[in-house]
Structure 1
Amino acid sequence: MRLTAFSDVSLRIMILLAGAEDKKLSTQTIAQGVGTPYNHVAKSVAFLANHGWVVATRGRAGGVVLSEAGKNVTVGHILRQTEGDIPMVECESEHGDCPLNSSCRLRGYLSRAREAFFEVLDPITISSLPTQRQMGPVFVELGLGPLSQTKKLTQAS
């Protein structure tokens, strides 16, 4: 299974914010931190805020921070929202045009495989993902200071 670019960016944003703990980051800083163009990050931040996983405030003292719900949301849940019901193969779409479509058993197997993929990710919370080894260089590059200032990040496992 391949994730959409939107899902990838959304997960990167959530991991970066989880690593930043309660620091407000500008959308521009987030874009730099996740290596993604600003407009893609802005779209993902709006989506994440709409779901209540981040709090985004505008203005001079504004920024984006992970909400309590965002700290506890699972990767599986996020991907179910960002991926939606995107068909894995043409026959799954409502406009699919496969001559083998009649009584095809593959669709059922693919649907179960997609759900199994999400189920593996269901117990993994966003706040459990960032590590010092992962986030340290990013924080220094963004000018957010050394990672020793954050309290909860664990060593890489």
Structure 2
Amino acid sequence: MRLTQWTDYSLRVLMYCAATESRPTPPTISEIAQAHGISRSHLTKIAMTLAANGWLETTRGRGGGLRLLKPADQIVLGTVVRQTETDFNLVECFDASLNTCRLDGLCLLKRTLKEAMAQYLAVLDGVTLADLVTPGQPPLGGQVISFAPRA
């Protein structure tokens, strides 16, 4: 099981916002893009999607940026992954319209992978954004990033 880049970046944005929520000024898309080495335009699209899903508030202009709309302990990873991933079909036989496997119905792979996916999502359903970050601490695995207010 592998997350798409879109979901990975979505989680990074949410985690960054959670880690910096105690700052007087919110992080900007440019700041997050630079911190992660991600295209600013790509992150803008992601931020708009996260805002549309009710996780982020975006404010334009001077002093603007991104803030979580809900407390980090109310944003469940399983929900974010389900809403940002586009395809949970791990193998061809998960989609009847594409399935050409001659073993379909004879093997247990499909059932086993569906169970694994259910367990995977169940674990993510037990984790919130707050479980993943320590507010005020660098969100990039120890890489030093200044969380001091910008002038």
TM-score tier after normalising by the smaller chain length: 0.7 to 0.9
Percentage of matched positions with identical amino acids: 36
Is the Cα contact below 8 Å between 2:28 and 2:65 reproduced in 1?
yes
What is the alpha-carbon root mean square deviation over aligned residues?
Answer: 2.3
Query: CA 1:71–1:32 in structure 2 vs 1: closer, same or farther (change >3 Å)?
Result: farther
- Unmatched tracts of structure 2, length 5 or more: none
1:123-134 equivalences under 5 Å are 123-131=126-134, 132=137, 134=139
TM-score, reference length from structure 2: 0.81
Task: Give CA-to-partner distance per residue, 1:93-120, whole Å, 9 cap, x none.
Answer: 3323222224553222211211100111
What count of residue pairs does the alignment treat as equivalent? 143
- Unmatched tracts of structure 1, length 5 or more: 147-157
1:120 aligns with 2:123: yes
Stretches (4+) displaced over 6 A: none
Is the Cα contact below 8 Å between 1:9 and 1:44 reproduced in 2?
yes
1:139 aligns with 2:142: no
1:109 pairs with one of 108, 112, 117: 112
The AA in structure 1 aligned to 2:100 is D
State the structure with bigger RCO (CA 8 A, min sep 6), 1 or 2: 2
More helix by share: 1
Match in the other structure for 1:13? 13
The AA in structure 1 aligned to 2:14 is M
Task: Give CA-to-partner distance per residue, 1:119-138, whole Å, 9 cap, x none.
Answer: 11212110221133645644
Question: How far apart, CA to CA, are the structure 2 residues paired with 1:7 and 1:138?
Answer: 24
Is the Cα contact below 8 Å between 2:55 and 2:69 reproduced in 1?
yes
Is the Cα contact below 8 Å between 2:138 and 2:144 reproduced in 1?
no
